[in-house]
Amino acid sequence: MSKEKTTVSVIKADIGSLAGHHIVHPDTLAIASRILAEGKSKGIITDYYVTNVGDDLQLIMTHRRGVDNNAVHELAWNAFKEAARVAKELGLYAAGQDLLSDAFSGNVRGLGPGVAEMEFEERPSEPIVIFMADKTEPGAFNLPMYRIFADPFNTAGLVIDPRLHQGFKFTVYDAFEGREITLNAPEEIYDLLAIIGTPGRFIVRRVNRKGDDEIAAVVSVERLSLIAGRYVGKDDPVAIVRAQSGFPAVGEILEAFTHPHLVAGWMRGSHHGPLMPVGLRHAKVTRFDGPPRVVALGFNIKNAKLVGPADLFDDVAFDEVRRMALIIADYIRRHGPMMPHRLGPEEMEYTTLPEVLQRLSSRFVETGEKKAAKPKVTSELLTSEKEKEAD
């Protein structure tokens, strides 16, 4: 007889910030905690932890109801709505920014908040790491997820631990087309890298252990601009990673963040910047609304209850990583409004830049020179190849 399963749900939203976009007000944290406490007393959830990273309110919940449960999602939605109400009363900036609907429709997916959830049978000891990022997009986790679960130079267990040696399966979500593909590592790592190297479109959504299909990691994939059709704030992803005893060790998981790689987001969601691992005490984003930050909280799960957290990046061992991130931030900031600091044109389509181009459009004049062919996006290329095969 199978054991009862535990679900971990991490749901986040920007519901308003004190003095710009840098930190959540304590009163909004308090009201969200009160709503979740009521949900716990009613038996909707078993346990919870409320925190923030930058201007994002983070709800960490455990329960026995499975992924995408209406009651759990409605509880989170009510917490965000009440926190947004308090934010409006306080006159906080961008109150309710990530709440793209006035009404709950059974699930928060597609309504603005970011969601990462996984369900599993608890091991005798069930350590997990929850990652929460601010001022970036879900694809920011592509490179770390690859390093954790497919790079033996990062994760020694892929070579020396028989339980990891078979590798992992990566499910990658196409945010433009609303479809996904599953690729195996190590056999298909070149194909995997070819896709996830475009993090604005292709996002590592799930990782499963190949031998038994056990869930290893989940990442939120919500792209606010693609949902709303315009820029309404950066996506600020969350992720859950299981650790130890058949999964990468906590130290291997954290090692993937020792290179502050460039991610999209930062100021106005329009710039590349280094992803800097920090503790909660340094999770406010001020310089150019950044640089992009990531926090890692370690928990043990026992009988669907949270034990912890440990603030894993609040460690002097990451001081040099942070110093490198600040050097990179200095370097890239000197580019000002120029690429590669500013995002490419395909991403800028969802910012306010098109309004500037529209205003200037009547002042462009034809030169009579041959026009350059507009590059085809990946989906158009795939379609044309299928048409050729049909012919």
Active-site positions? 14, 231, 234
**Those residues with Cβ within 8 angstroms of residue 31's Cβ, 6 or more apart along the chain or in another chain:** 79, 82, 83, 85, 86
Cα 358 to chain centroid distance, Å, stands at: 32
SS3 state at 280: helix
DSSP H/E element including 206? strand 202-209
Angle at CA 144, nearest 5°, toward 142 and 148? Answer: 120
Residue 343 and residue 348: Cα distance in Å, rounded? 6
Q: Identify the bridge partners of residue 352 per DSSP, sorted by sequence position.
A: none
Residue 353 and residue 373: Cα distance in Å, rounded? 22
Radius of gyration of the chain (CA): 21
Residue 201 and residue 175: Cα distance in Å, rounded? 5
DSSP H/E element including 322? helix 319-333
Residue 346 token pair: 């395909």
Transcribe 73-128 into DSSP letters.
Answer: HHHHHHHHHHHHHHHHHTT-BTTTTT---SS--S-STTSS-EEEEEEEPPPSSEEE
Burial of residue 324 (CB within 10 Å: 0-12, 13-18, 19+) is middle
